[in-house]
Amino acid sequence: MDIVGSVTAMEPRLLVVGGGRMGGALVHGLVGSGWSPTDIVVVEPSADRRAELAHELPGIGVGAEIVDATGAVIAVKPAVAEDACRALATTSVARVLSIMAGVPLARLESWLPPSTAVVRAMPNTPATVGAGISALAAGSRATEPDMAWAEELLAAVGHVVRLPETSLDAVTGLSGSGPAYLFLVVEALIEAGQAVGLSEEVSRLLVTDTLAGSARLLVESGETPRSLREAVTSPGGTTEAGLRVLEDRGVRVAITAAVAAATDRSRQLAR
Ligand SMILES: NC(=O)c1ccc[n+]([C@@H]2O[C@H](COP(=O)([O-])OP(=O)(O)OC[C@H]3O[C@@H](n4cnc5c(N)ncnc54)[C@H](OP(=O)(O)O)[C@@H]3O)[C@@H](O)[C@H]2O)c1
């Protein structure tokens, strides 16, 4: 799709380029955290998705073409990053937050006017339920107010940490891909429950609540994962028997290697 630059009479505070999973989640989060829907315009090529967003979020602007705004979030796939930036370059948007994986700040800055402040973030999919964690990195022209602006946007869908851009490949390999690692563990545990005689339905319920409850316990108790693990591991007991198998079969080594592989892949994709 070609995005044509144009200017509306009422300039929105925020333009969200790409109303897919992440862009849509961000808009939901912003409206849920008190933003006026009329301050947001989503640019999205799919007419079906535009209708869906307009229905879900009454009052937001939706359109197929880029319009002027005070700030913009780029939430399109990395393959169309340049198109989106070049379209934004025809507007007077002064601040841009990119949530695209693997598109470096230097490249974004080269496609946007020298006057545009650029901030790059790496969110993760729990953002779609307001429980994400995003790492934020400043571009060469981004000032503290630009970072505070980006931080406020992403805080609508979860926690935010500020890091140098050099850390973003590691963030991608850890928290970006992290939900998939945990879902793999969940899949394996559900199968394991079935293997010891439980139904798929019961096993899924037990595993899902165990994951959600353990995450809550970890966050709310403030204790280390190690101390929580040790607290449920009596010498000679059932947990110890299970954990011994995991350690003997190299679960830690596999996890370390998985995060390293994902981090390397992120570095390759950014080249
Ligand atoms: N999902 C994740 O876990 C995750 C985590 C961190 C970062 N990210 C990043 O977030 C970005 C969005 O991911 P997503 O999962 O939300 O993808 P998605 O659901 O495919 O959303 C992208 C949306 O952008 C639209 N689009 C395509 N070209 C466009 C253009 N030129 N102008 C405006 N909109 C356009 C797409 O429409 P069509 O479908 O009609 O093409 C689609 O609705 C990606 O860059 C990804 O790297 C995702």
| pLDDT tens digits along 179-208 | 999 999 999 999 999 999 999 999 999 999
Q: How far from 232 is each of 2, 102, 113, 171, 229, CA to CA, in Å?
A: 57, 40, 56, 30, 6
Reported as a single tens digit per residue, the pLDDT across 24-78 is 999 999 999 999 999 999 999 999 999 999 999 999 999 999 999 999 999 999 9
Q: Do domains 14-165 and 178-270 have the same CATH topology?
A: no
Q: In ligand 1, which atom is closest to the CA atom of 44?
A: 34
What pLDDT score was predicted for residue 10?
Answer: 66
Q: What's the CA-to-centroid distance between 44 and ligand 1, angstroms?
A: 10
Architecture of domain 178-270: Orthogonal Bundle (1.10)
What pLDDT score was predicted for residue 189?
Answer: 98
Q: Which of the listed residues 1, 16, 22, 125 should we mutate to test ligand 1's pocket, taking the one with most ligand atoms within 8 A of CB?
A: 22
- Average pLDDT of the residues in 218-242: 97
Reported as a single tens digit per residue, the pLDDT across 231-244 is 999 999 999 999 99
Where in the chain are the domains? 14-165, 178-270
Determine the Cα–Cα distance for residues 52 and 45; give it in Å rounded to an integer.
12
What pLDDT score was predicted for residue 11?
Answer: 75
* pLDDT for 117 beyond 80: yes
* pLDDT for 96 beyond 60: yes
* pLDDT for 163 beyond 90: yes
* pLDDT for 1 beyond 90: no
Architecture of domain 14-165: 3-Layer(aba) Sandwich (3.40)
Reported as a single tens digit per residue, the pLDDT across 254-265 is 999 999 999 999
The tokens 């350690």 sit on which residue? 247
Helices (H), 94-136: 105-111
Do residues 119 and 173 lie in contact, with contact meaning Cβ atoms separated by under 8 Å?
no
Q: Which of the listed residues 21, 49, 129, 168 should we mutate to test ligand 1's pocket, taking the one with most ligand atoms within 8 A of CB?
A: 21
What pLDDT score was predicted for residue 173?
Answer: 96
Q: How confident is the model at residue 12 (pLDDT cuts 50, 70, 90)?
A: confident
What pLDDT score was predicted for residue 7?
Answer: 35
Do residues 69 and 7 lie in contact, with contact meaning Cβ atoms separated by under 8 Å?
no
What pLDDT score was predicted for residue 29?
Answer: 95
* pLDDT for 144 beyond 60: yes
Q: What's the CA-to-centroid distance between 100 and ligand 1, angstroms?
A: 8
